[in-house]
Amino acid sequence: MTKTLINFLSEISFFSEVSQESLQHLCDNITEETYIKNEVIFEKDTIGNSMYAVLKGSVKIHDKNHIYDTLSVGDCFGEYALIDNETRSASVTTIENTKVLKIEREHFLNLIKNDSGFAQGILSVMIKRHRELDAIQERLASSKQDIEIANSKMTGLIDGAMDAIIMFNDNFRIVLTNPSANTLLENDDTLQRNVLFFFDEDSASLIESIVKAEDDKKPINNYLPNIVKVIGSNDTETLNEGTISKYGTNTKTFYTLILRNIEERLVAEDKINLLTKQTQYLAEEIQELTSSYGIIAEDKSMKDALNLIHQVAKTDATVLINGETGTGKELVARAIHKESNRNDKPLIRINCGAIPANLIESELFGHEKGAFTGATISRKGRFLLADKGTIFLDEIGEMPLELQPKLLRIIQEGEFDPVGSSDTIKVDVRIIAATHRNLFEFSKEGKFREDLYYRLNVFPIEVPALRNRGHDICLIAQEMITQFSKKLNKPIVQLSETDGVLLTSYNWPGNVRELQNLIERAVIVSQNGIINWQAIIPSDTNSTDITKETVTEKILTSQELIFLEKENILKALKHTKWKISGANGAAALLQLPPTTLTSRIKALGIERPV
């Protein structure tokens, strides 16, 4: 039995360096004690005078309910009570029925004193433990330094970050912020405040739902699906994008919210979008220019119109340009804008008769995303694009009655609401309108708002018909011949007196636009610098004969006339493969302005077959 006990003691770390002979001496005064399950061997803060080694069973080292460690067979505890009089640092209680060896301090100290081998063995163990402790402390010191360096780097990274970094616990209480976050929240004392209080209702609900929806066992590292609005302590509101992540243990969970202010980016994007739209519209305008010839005027009627342009250009007065289709009303509008103080800003044009009634409101005033079916993105209207500049409303008489109050509001108050939005937008726009209709008669018939008519008719300008401009017809024709000849690489033809007579004797129902189309056709078909004007200029007698022939055959009803007009337009569209404008378009074939033809197509319900 003694030999078994000596072997057992030699396996215990505290006696591992003690010789077999010295362990024999230790066994002479060693005792065995037995404890039942959950029995206390000794309690914390009691003065001890013995150590124990577990022979059978197991014990727990604890302080009340907190367990530091559990020991089983071959483990020892309480050994420091053999060499000092300090109180126990923890309690020891059995986990099950347990048998221990008990070594008294008095016997231990006698062996140290009288058995040099025993003392040397114990000393060796203590030295070994001390060296191990030194190594542990050295590693701890090194680890502490590494931790301090890492912490310094992390602190520098967090504090130097331009993005706002906010850490909060599972109760949404803020535990850490960096300087950027304090600036964003407009508060240097945010610790332990509820992070949700710094967001508007929708943003707070979003963050709360993300935190509460996540499984506690799974980490999260997500981009916030929506832009969030932060409300600082000084009530400053900012829009931010960001990410949210989670870290911690089973008992403690923390969240990191990283936010980036995108106000400046949104403003820049908005400006880029606005400039892009303006560029697109201006590019369209350049393509749609009637000509690049400017206004040629020697006739008194046109000179009077030019004089009115000079008088009104420098003001911000609303101008109403009256005149037949094709007389050059758009050139007058461009001349007013060019001579005005707004000439460094855009001139935005819209033809009120060429856009379907259900789209013109969005075209003029813009719309919000989702305002109507197909509105997948927000769009800026032409009034906003024309801000600080000029807007030219061509064919204003075709504007739907239901939209006219909105236009009246812009003229009177300089503001409007985009489609689908409750936000009022202020603009500074000079309005120039044009029409070939008699708006005064229209207003009396209830087809146009009378108050809007008087608001538009502040400064009327009448553009004379081409047939009433005398020799101007020849001057304009010669300029057009020169331009088209250069463009088509043809010899430039000079008009003779006979040619002038032919040009001035024609009625020109399509005015300057008709003249432009005929001149282009004439230059194209010219041979060796010769143009047969009699073959180019329509004959009034031919149209008269056709009219007489039609009248003598049958008197048509209004429905029959509409049917004939529809059939005639369809023939022209089929012949030109549904091309409306241009030299070879249906409008030129029918001798109609493209805008008028577009209006007739819409009115007659003509649709292109699929």
Average pLDDT over residues 200-225: 78
Average pLDDT over residues 9-28: 85
Identity of the amino acid at 173: R
d(CA 71, CA 66): 15
Distances, alpha carbon 316 to alpha carbons 270, 307, 439, 450, 487, in Å: 27, 17, 22, 22, 38
d(CA 52, CA 30): 10
Per-residue model confidence as pLDDT tens digits over 109-156: 888 888 888 888 888 888 787 777 777 777 766 666 666 666 665 566
Assess whether pLDDT exceeds 90 at residue 321: yes
Assess whether pLDDT exceeds 70 at residue 466: yes
Six-digit token string for 3: 């030999």
d(CA 603, CA 610): 20
Return the pLDDT at 286: 47
Assess whether pLDDT exceeds 50 at residue 550: no
Assess whether pLDDT exceeds 90 at residue 308: yes
Q: Where does the pLDDT of residue 219 fall: very low under 50, low under 70, confident under 90, or very high at 90 and above?
A: low
156-165, 245-254, 507-516, 601-610: which is most confident:
507-516
Return the pLDDT at 56: 92
Assess whether pLDDT exceeds 70 at residue 552: no
Q: Is 210 exposed, middle or buried (0-12, 13-18, 19+ CB in 10 A)?
A: middle
Assess whether pLDDT exceeds 80 at residue 547: no
Average model confidence (pLDDT) across the chain:
83
| Strand pairing category for 390-394 and 347-351 | parallel
Return the pLDDT at 336: 92
Q: Is 443 exposed, middle or buried (0-12, 13-18, 19+ CB in 10 A)?
A: middle
d(CA 392, CA 320): 10
d(CA 165, CA 183): 11
Return the pLDDT at 511: 92
Assess whether pLDDT exceeds 80 at residue 539: no
User: Nearest CA to 472 among 294, 596, 263?
Assistant: 294
Assess whether pLDDT exceeds 70 at residue 376: no
Flag the least confident range among 415-419, 558-562, 605-609: 558-562
Assess whether pLDDT exceeds 50 at residue 546: no
* Cβ atoms of 445 and 401 closer than 8 Å: no
Return the pLDDT at 565: 85
Assess whether pLDDT exceeds 60 at residue 528: yes
Degrees to nearest 5, angle at CA 440 with 437 and 445: 90
Assess whether pLDDT exceeds 60 at residue 443: yes
Return the pLDDT at 133: 73
Return the pLDDT at 159: 66
Average pLDDT over residues 450-471: 91
Q: How many CA atoms lie within 13 A of 275 on its CB side?
A: 6
Place of tokens 């309910």: 65
DSSP string, 466-522: GGGSTTHHHHHHHHHHHHHHHHHT-PPPPPPHHHHHHHHHS--TTHHHHHHHHHHHH
Assess whether pLDDT exceeds 80 at residue 513: yes
Assess whether pLDDT exceeds 50 at residue 77: yes
% of the chain residues with pLDDT over 70: 87
| Strand pairing category for 459-462 and 319-322 | parallel
% of the chain residues with pLDDT over 90: 26
d(CA 526, CA 533): 10
Return the pLDDT at 289: 43
Cα torsion angle, 464, 466, 470, 473, sign: positive
User: Which residues pair with residue 253 across a beta bridge?
Assistant: 248
Place of tokens 């004193």: 113
* Cβ atoms of 396 and 434 closer than 8 Å: yes
**Structure-model confidence comparison of residues 146 and 383, the more confident one:** 383
Quote the pTM value. Answer: 0.46
Helix or strand or coil: residue 438? Answer: coil
Assess whether pLDDT exceeds 50 at residue 200: yes
Q: What is the CA radius of gyration of the chain?
A: 49
Q: Quick one: which H or E segment has residue 71? A: strand 66-71
Average pLDDT over residues 313-331: 92
**Structure-model confidence comparison of residues 546 and 327, the more confident one:** 327
Return the pLDDT at 293: 38
Six-digit token string for 79: 């050994």
| Strand pairing category for 425-426 and 50-56 | unpaired
Helix ranges (H only) for 194-242 are 201-213
User: Which residues pair with residue 522 across a beta bridge?
Assistant: none
Return the pLDDT at 543: 42
Return the pLDDT at 544: 42
Per-residue model confidence as pLDDT tens digits over 388-411: 999 999 999 988 888 889 889 988
Assess whether pLDDT exceeds 80 at residue 275: no
Return the pLDDT at 230: 92
- The residue count of the chain comes to 610
User: Nearest CA to 352 among 411, 283, 398, 291?
Assistant: 398
Q: Where does the pLDDT of residue 276 fall: very low under 50, low under 70, confident under 90, or very high at 90 and above?
A: low
Six-digit token string for 568: 């005639």
Provide the 10 A C-beta neighbour count for residue 40.
11
Flag the least confident range among 97-111, 124-138, 146-160, 311-325: 146-160
Q: Tell me, what DSSP letter sits at residue 583?
A: T
| Strand pairing category for 253-261 and 237-248 | antiparallel
Return the pLDDT at 283: 52
d(CA 231, CA 291): 55
Q: Where does the pLDDT of residue 173 fall: very low under 50, low under 70, confident under 90, or very high at 90 and above?
A: very high
Return the pLDDT at 548: 42
Six-digit token string for 464: 């004379």
Assess whether pLDDT exceeds 70 at residue 452: yes
**Structure-model confidence comparison of residues 287 and 59, the more confident one:** 59
**Structure-model confidence comparison of residues 330 and 269, the more confident one:** 330
DSSP string, 372-388: STT--S-B--HHHHTTT
d(CA 436, CA 330): 12
DSSP string, 282-295: HHHHHHT-S-SS--
Six-digit token string for 60: 């727990």
